[in-house]
Structure formats: C-alpha cells, structure tokens
Amino acid sequence: MGVRLRVAGGAVRPRFVAAPEAGDEVVEVEEIRVFVARTILDELGEVVIDVTVEHDQLTVRPVESDA
C-alpha cells in the first residue's frame, strides 16, 4: 500500500493505492511509499513533498522555492 500524488481539480491530491502507475516516481521513507505522478514532475520539475502537521495538509512545491 502506498500514497499516490496526482493532479486533480487543478491541485495535487493524495490517494491510497496498492501500486504505482506507469511512469510514477517511487519514493520510500521509513516504510511509507509515495508514488509521484509523472504529470507533477513534468510541470514542476524536482519537488519537495512535506506535511504540515498543524493543518494535516500535504504540500508539494518546486525545489527552488524551498527556504
């Protein structure tokens, strides 16, 4: 089981899935598998994925805006 990040409704949205789709980038951190849809990488390039605990929100942003 993993989480797939994809673009839906103009925003990056997570969805629990069993496996990545063709072309997804697979990232594993502490037994958590994240599948990043190719469309995110094509539009944003290299990205930073973070969770804001206080708001329970997942954020995806280009590396250049990482401060």
CATH number at residue 29: 2.60.300.12
Give the pLDDT of residue 24.
Answer: 94
- Tell me the residue range of the domain where 33 lies: 2-65
pTM equals 0.73
Pairing outcome for strands 47-52 and 57-62? antiparallel
What are the counts of helices (DSSP H) followed by strands (DSSP E) for the chain?
1, 6
pLDDT (tens, 9 = 90+) of the chain, 67 residues, equals 899 999 888 788 889 999 999 999 998 877 889 999 998 888 888 888 877 777 667 777 778 754 5
Q: How many structural domains does the chain have? A: 1
